[in-house]
Amino acid sequence: MNFKNRILYQLSKKTLEKNKRFHKIHSGKSCYIFGCGASLKYFDLKNFNDKIAICCSSLFLHEDFKELNAKYYYMGHPFIFHKYWKNQYKKKYEKNLVGKLYRENINLNPQIEYFVSLSNYFAIRASNINYVHHFDYLASNPPKIQLDSIFSSMHGALNAMLGLALYMGFKNITLVGCDFTFKPKSQGHFFEFGKFANTNENEIFSEDLLLFVKRQVNIETITIDDSFIGDIINYTSYEELTSSKPNYKENNLIVSKQNLSNLNNFNMEYKIYK
């Protein structure tokens, strides 16, 4: 840890140590980890309320989000709750509409524990806001997954949610809507319009971390059907898990008109309309 990070660590130590209350809190239990992949357009979320859910990003925009037993939520993008931020697609600073919408979601769901980047410490405060930081140990192998000190799994929402699950002691992890964990890889998000072409790219998404997790716990990913298989982890088709056939719904049937408009205004290169 360089000098800058040592100083930051000392300044934030007491704040991060508050996360110790989550250590092994669900030891031996099972959970769902939800991504925002396009496969969710085929799933009825009501079939996934039997376990604790760890969620991320814009999943709260799904009309059936309330059906989930969502207890934890990761929003780890640096400075995402500041009034202005640098749009990663437009490469320029602008008014932060994303953070505004995310903040509204937090206010609507005070029962959920949120994990956000330490960079947002001065931008958002609440009893259910918890801060994490990597101290430049991003993507370390093996990962450092101490929520109360160094949390290296912040180079993607799935990586972070896996780190949360391991720290909390979950023994069985089921991935839902994490479409890069099976092949062919499904593209796009549930809130985008249309069906996306699948790819057969050979690169394994977060291979080192998935192998690490696989050695620690039981992990599987839910596929749309048997035409998809897990990349390096076990897989179960939606029908096999739920005894229900996948049923495709377009984005306007699972996301409100207002929220589709909000997403379209983010300038994030999402395909929201036909």
Residues facing residue 94 across a β-bridge = 85
Residue 88 pLDDT more than 80? Answer: no
Q: Dihedral of CA 256/272/254/205: which sign?
A: negative
User: What pLDDT, on the 0 to 100 scale, is given for residue 75?
Assistant: 96
User: What pLDDT, on the 0 to 100 scale, is given for residue 89?
Assistant: 75
Place of tokens 């930051």: 8
Residue 273 pLDDT more than 80? Answer: yes
Q: Please report, in angstroms and rounded to a whole number, the separation of the first and last CA atoms in the chain.
A: 48
Q: Dihedral of CA 50/20/133/128: which sign?
A: positive
User: What pLDDT, on the 0 to 100 scale, is given for residue 207?
Assistant: 87
CB 191 within 8 A of CB 252: no
| pTM (predicted TM-score) | 0.95
Question: What is d(CA 187, CA 79) in angstroms, rounded to the nearest whole number?
Answer: 26
User: What pLDDT, on the 0 to 100 scale, is given for residue 85?
Assistant: 86
Q: Tell me the per-residue pLDDT of 182-239, one tens digit each, with 9 for 90 and over.
A: 988 888 999 999 998 777 777 788 888 899 999 999 999 999 999 999 989 999 999 9
Top pLDDT among 22 and 84 is at 22
**Backbone dihedral angles phi then psi of residue 237, each to the nearest 5 degrees:** -75, 155
Q: What is the overall mean pLDDT for the chain?
A: 94
User: What pLDDT, on the 0 to 100 scale, is given for residue 44?
Assistant: 97
Question: What is d(CA 87, CA 205) in angstroms, rounded to the nearest whole number?
Answer: 24
Q: Tell me the per-residue pLDDT of 138-169, one tens digit each, with 9 for 90 and over.
A: 878 889 999 999 999 998 999 999 999 999 99
Mean pLDDT of the region 18-43: 98
CB 143 within 8 A of CB 130: no
User: What pLDDT, on the 0 to 100 scale, is given for residue 1?
Assistant: 86
Top pLDDT among 92 and 113 is at 113
Residues facing residue 221 across a β-bridge = 175, 235
SS3 14: helix
For the chain, domains (ranges, CATH) are: 26-264 (3.90.1480)
